[in-house]
Amino acid sequence: MTMTSNEPRRIHRAGPNTLPHATMNPADVAHLSGLEMIAGWAEGRLPPPPIGKTLNFGLVEVEFGRTVFEGEPLRDFYNPIGSIHGSYAAALLDSAMGCAVHSALSAGQGYTTLEYKISLVRGMTDKTGRVRAEGKVLQVGRRVASAEGRLTDSQGRLLAHGTTTCLVFEV
């Protein structure tokens, strides 16, 4: 699979999604490309996944090969040493990088994360405010895809960065 889309470049910006958070049966959306599915979620035609509700983050932008999620770390996410647990950054980056890969897949294709590496470079607290995770595809092949991601605060300071490798398969 090449890294080009047949449609003109279009950024889908998320508006308020009034659908309840829910999981979808893969067979029900297998006819959609990854970009069509994620754009449907961004535009409120498909429900957002439950993890966003649990971890207080959501999709704000999607285009072919790129997604952006934003969230706000809460005191509920603290670790025993009084800061936001590193898994919060990992969940945001895994979502952004994985969905970036998904946005580049054709109808009938799915993916799963094989591995990811995250580097945490600045701590977060409940006073950090809104954070932004951007994922960008590096390469999509027939069986393996890779992407990179950056997590920044509202002033653009880098909080964490990472890479992922995903398995691509037929659904």
The 12-13 sheet, strands edge to edge: 12-13, 57-63, 66-71, 131-140, 144-153, 158-170, 109-120
> pLDDT at residue 40 above 70?
yes
Which residues 6+ apart lie within 8 Å of 1 measured at CB? 104, 105, 106, 140, 141, 142, 168
* In-domain check, residue 103: yes
pLDDT at residue 1, rounded to an integer: 42
* In-domain check, residue 3: no
* In-domain check, residue 121: yes
Check residues 171 and 165 and name the one with the higher pLDDT: 165
> pLDDT at residue 2 above 50?
no
* In-domain check, residue 4: no
CB 167 within 8 A of CB 112: yes
* In-domain check, residue 2: no
* In-domain check, residue 154: yes
Cα–chain-centroid distance for residue 151? 11
Report the number of distinct structural domains present in the chain: 1
* In-domain check, residue 110: yes
> pLDDT at residue 9 above 70?
no
Mean pLDDT of 18-22: 79
Nearest to 132 by CA among 146, 153, 148, 118: 153
> pLDDT at residue 84 above 50?
yes
* In-domain check, residue 6: no
Instruction: Give the domain CATH number at 135.
Output: 3.10.129.10
The model's pTM: 0.91
Domain with 94, as residue range(s), is: 12-170
